[in-house]
Chains A and B, each alone.
Chain A
Amino acid sequence: MKLNINRSLASRIVFYVLTFCLFLFIISLSVFYFFSKKQMKEMTYNYAEAITNNTVLKTELILSPITKIANNYKWIIENKRLSSDSIFGITRKIIGNNPEIVGCAIAYESFFFKEKGRYFAPYSCREKGNIKTFQLGSTEYEYFVMDWYQIPASIQKPYWSEPYFDTGGANTLITTFSMPFYSMHGKEKSFAGVITIDVALDWLTDIVSSVKILETGYASVLSRNGTFVTHPKKELMMNQTIFSYASEMNNPELRTIGREMQKGKTGFVSSTLNGVERVLYYTPLPSSNWTLAVVFPKSEMFLPLRKITVALIFLVVIGLILLTFIVSRIVSRQISPLEIFAKSAREVANGNFNNKLPDIKSKDEMKHLHDSFEHMQKDLSTYIEHLKSTTSAKEKIESELRIAREIQMGMIPKIFPPFPNLSEIDLFATLQPAKEVGGDLYDFFLIDDKHLCFAIGDVSGKGVPASLFMAVTRTLLRSLAPNQLSTAVIVNALNKSLSAGNESNMFVTFFLGILDVESGILKYSNAGHNPPLLVHPDGTTEFFELTKDIPVGLFDDFDYGEKVLNLSKNDKLFLYTDGVTEAEDAEEKLYSDQKLIDCVRAHFESQTKDLIRFVAEDIALHVKGNQQSDDLTMLSIVYYGNQDEGSL
Chain B
Amino acid sequence: MKHHLSVLVLFYLLAFNCPGQDLPKITFSPHWLPQAQFAGYYVAEKKGFYHAEGLDVRIIHPSVSINAVVRLAKGESDIISSFLISAISARSEGLDLVNIAQLSQNSALLFVSKKEKNIKSLADLNGKKIGVWKSGFDEVGKDLIRSNGYHVTWVPILSSVNMFMVGGIDAMTVMWYNEYDQIINSGINKEELNTFFFSDYGYNIPEDGLYCLHKTLTLRKEDLKKFVRATLKGWEYAKNNRSETLDIVLEEMKKAHVATNKAHQSWMLDKMLGLIEPGTKNVKKGQLSESDFHKTQSILIDGGYVKKKTDFNAFYKPVL
CA A262 to CA B183, docked complex, whole Å: 13
Is the pair B260, A239 in contact by a Cβ cutoff of 8 Å? yes
Is the pair A142, B134 in contact by a Cβ cutoff of 8 Å? yes
Q: From residue A402, how far is it (CB to closest CB) to chain B in Å? A: 122
Which residues of B are found within 8 Å of A224, using beta-carbon distances?
A: 165-166
Given A150-B157, A162-B162: A243 and B187 interface contact (C-beta under 8 Å)? yes
Within 248-267 of B, Cβ neighbours of A (below 8 Å) are at 257, 259-264
In the complex, which residue of chain B has the Cβ closest to the Cβ of A247?
A: B263
Interface residues on B, range: 20 to 34
Q: From residue B169, how far is it (CB to closest CB) to chain A in Å? A: 7
Which residues of B are found within 8 Å of A648, using beta-carbon distances?
A: none
Q: From residue B271, how far is it (CB to closest CB) to chain A in Å? A: 15
Is the pair B168, A155 in contact by a Cβ cutoff of 8 Å? yes
Is the pair B65, A154 in contact by a Cβ cutoff of 8 Å? no
Which residues of B are found within 8 Å of A245, using beta-carbon distances?
A: 261, 263
Which residues of B are found within 8 Å of A141, using beta-carbon distances?
A: 65
Is the pair A227, B259 in contact by a Cβ cutoff of 8 Å? yes
Within 121-164 of B, Cβ neighbours of A (below 8 Å) are at 134, 155-158, 160, 162-163
Is the pair B155, A154 in contact by a Cβ cutoff of 8 Å? yes
Which residues of B are found within 8 Å of A110, using beta-carbon distances?
A: none
Which residues of A are found within 8 Å of B259, using beta-carbon distances?
A: 227, 238-239
Is the pair A244, B257 in contact by a Cβ cutoff of 8 Å? no
Given A141-B65, A142-B65, A238-B259: A154 and B168 interface contact (C-beta under 8 Å)? yes
> Taking the complex as formed, is B186 at the interface, i.e. its CB lies under 8 A from any CB of chain A?
yes
- 1/0 per residue, CB under 8 A from B, across A336-373: the answer is 00000000000000000000000000000000000000
> Taking the complex as formed, is A241 at the interface, i.e. its CB lies under 8 A from any CB of chain B?
yes
Partner of A151, one of B65, B163, B263, B264: B163
> Taking the complex as formed, is B184 at the interface, i.e. its CB lies under 8 A from any CB of chain A?
yes
Partner of A146, one of B155, B158, B167, B262: B158
Partner of B65, one of A140, A147, A150: A140
Within 133-164 of A, Cβ neighbours of B (below 8 Å) are at 140-142, 144-147, 150-151, 154-155, 159, 161-162
Is the pair B162, A151 in contact by a Cβ cutoff of 8 Å? yes
> Taking the complex as formed, is B185 at the interface, i.e. its CB lies under 8 A from any CB of chain A?
yes
Partner of B162, one of A140, A225, A259: A225
Within 63-81 of B, Cβ neighbours of A (below 8 Å) are at 65-66
> Taking the complex as formed, is A85 at the interface, i.e. its CB lies under 8 A from any CB of chain B?
no
Partner of A243, one of B134, B155, B162, B184: B184
CA A145 to CA B168, docked complex, whole Å: 12
Is the pair A241, B187 in contact by a Cβ cutoff of 8 Å? yes
27 contacts between A and B (CB under 8 A): A141-B65, A142-B65, A145-B134, A145-B156, A145-B157, A146-B158, A150-B163, A150-B168, A151-B166, A151-B168, A154-B155, A155-B167, A162-B160, A162-B162, A225-B162, A225-B165, A226-B185, A226-B187, A239-B261, A242-B187, A244-B262, A244-B263, A244-B264, A245-B263, A258-B187, A259-B187, A259-B189
Q: Which 4 A-B pairs have the closest CB atoms?
A: A154-B168, A225-B186, A247-B263, A244-B185
